[in-house]
Amino acid sequence: MIEVRNLQKSYGDFAVLRNVSFTVARGEKIVILGPSGSGKSTLIRCFNRIEPHDAGEITIDGERIDQKTELTRLRCMVGMVFQNYNLFPHLTVLENCALPPRVVKGAGREDAEELAMNFLHRVNIADQARKYPIQLSGGQQQRVAIARALCMQPSVMLFDEPTAALDPEAVSGVADIMASLSADGMTTLCVTHEMGFARRIADRIIFMDQGRILESAPPEVFFTQPRTERARDFLSQMI
Ligand code: ADP
Ligand code: MG
C-alpha cells in the first residue's frame, strides 16, 4: 500500500529525515514512536505533502507522491488527524464534516450531510451533530475530527499524537474508534506517546531517532526485546 524509499528532508543544514525506508501493507496499523524532535511528524506530513520531501520516493497505492501530485486528489487519498483537532470553530459538528466533501469533491449539500451523519454515527457522536466544537469535550472533538477525515473516504489515515491533549478516559474512547477502524481494514500510521494505546492498536511499531528508523517490529517484540540501546533508554523513560 505504501512504499517509502530513501526519504530525505532537511530544514537548512539540519537533516530531519535521513534515508528513511519502509513499507506498509494494506490495512496495516503502524505506530511511530520516538523521542521528541526525531522527525515523526515530519515523516507523516510528507505523506500528504504538508511538507515536501527533498529526496527519495513515497508511493501510495501505486502512485508517486511528488511535486507533480495534484494536492486535491492526494488529500482525498490521505486523511489526517492532528493533536489539537483543528475543527472549524464557527461551523457545527455536522458542517465541519460535510464541508470537505463539498469543497474538495464538489458533493451536494444533502449528500455531504448524509455522508457526514454516517461517519458521525461511526465515531459514536451523531447526537452532537448540531453543536459547535467549543460545546464538546476534547475527546468528542477528536472523534469529530476523525469523522471529518473519514468523510473524504481516504485509503490511508495519518494521526499525529491524536490523544496527546486528552484525559485517560477520552484516550480509550479514541482508541476504541481506532481499533474499530482497523476492523474495517483502514491503513493507518499513528504517532503517539501513549504506550498502552500503541500496544493496543499497532500491528507494527516503528521507532525513530534523529531522523532514522532504528527499529521496526511487532509490539510484543518491540516492547519486550528492543534491539537498540536507544529504544531501551526510550522505553525505560516511559514507565
Ligand atoms: P517529532 O514529531 O518527532 O517531535 P518533528 O518532525 O516535529 O519531530 O521535528 C523534527 C525536527 O525538525 C525538530 O528538531 C524540529 O525542531 C525540526 N523542525 C520541524 N519543523 C521545522 C520547520 N518548519 N523548520 C525548521 N525546523 C523544523
Ligand atoms: Mg511531532
Q: Residue 55 has what pLDDT?
A: 97
Is 67 in a helix, a strand, or coil?
coil
Find cell 491524536 and name the residue.
162
**Can you tell me which atom of ligand 1 is nearest the CA of 35?**
3
The pTM is what? 0.94
Local confidence band at 23 (pLDDT 50, 70, 90 cut-offs):
very high
**Can you tell me which atom of ligand 1 is nearest the CA of 208?**
3
Local confidence band at 181 (pLDDT 50, 70, 90 cut-offs):
confident
* Cα–Cα distance measured from residue 49 to residue 31, given in angstroms and rounded to the nearest whole number: 20
Ligand 1, atom 20, residue with closest C-alpha: 42
The tens digit of pLDDT for each residue in 46-98 reads: 999 999 999 999 999 999 998 888 888 898 899 999 999 999 999 999 999 99
C-alpha dist (Å) from residue 138 to 42, 172, 173: 24, 13, 11
Protein residues whose CB sits closer than 6 Å to any atom of ligand 1: 11, 16, 34, 36-42
* Cα–Cα distance measured from residue 147 to residue 137, given in angstroms and rounded to the nearest whole number: 15
Find cell 448524509 and name the residue.
114
Burial class (CB in 10 A: 0-12, 13-18, 19+), 124: middle
The tens digit of pLDDT for each residue in 115-124 reads: 999 999 999 9
At residue 130, what is the residue type? R
Mutation pick for ligand 1 pocket among 8, 11, 31, 38 (CB with most ligand atoms within 8 Å): 11
Whether the pLDDT of residue 239 is over 70: the answer is no
Q: How far is the CA of 36 from the centre of ligand 2 (A)?
A: 7
Q: Residue 183 has what pLDDT?
A: 79
Nearest to 125 by CA among 166, 100, 93: 93
Mutation pick for ligand 1 pocket among 13, 36, 42 (CB with most ligand atoms within 8 Å): 42
Ligand 1, atom 14, residue with closest C-alpha: 37
Is 183 in a helix, a strand, or coil?
helix
- The single-letter DSSP state of residue 29 is E
Mean pLDDT of 157-182: 89
The tens digit of pLDDT for each residue in 185-207 reads: 899 999 999 898 899 899 999 99
Q: Which residues hold their Cβ within 5 A of ligand 2, which is an ion?
A: 41
Whether the pLDDT of residue 27 is over 90: the answer is yes
Q: Residue 50 has what pLDDT?
A: 93
Decide: 212 and 206 in contact? Cβ < 8 Å: no
Residues facing residue 187 across a β-bridge = 156
**Can you tell me which atom of ligand 1 is nearest the CA of 161?**
2
The grid coordinates listed for 7 are 526519504
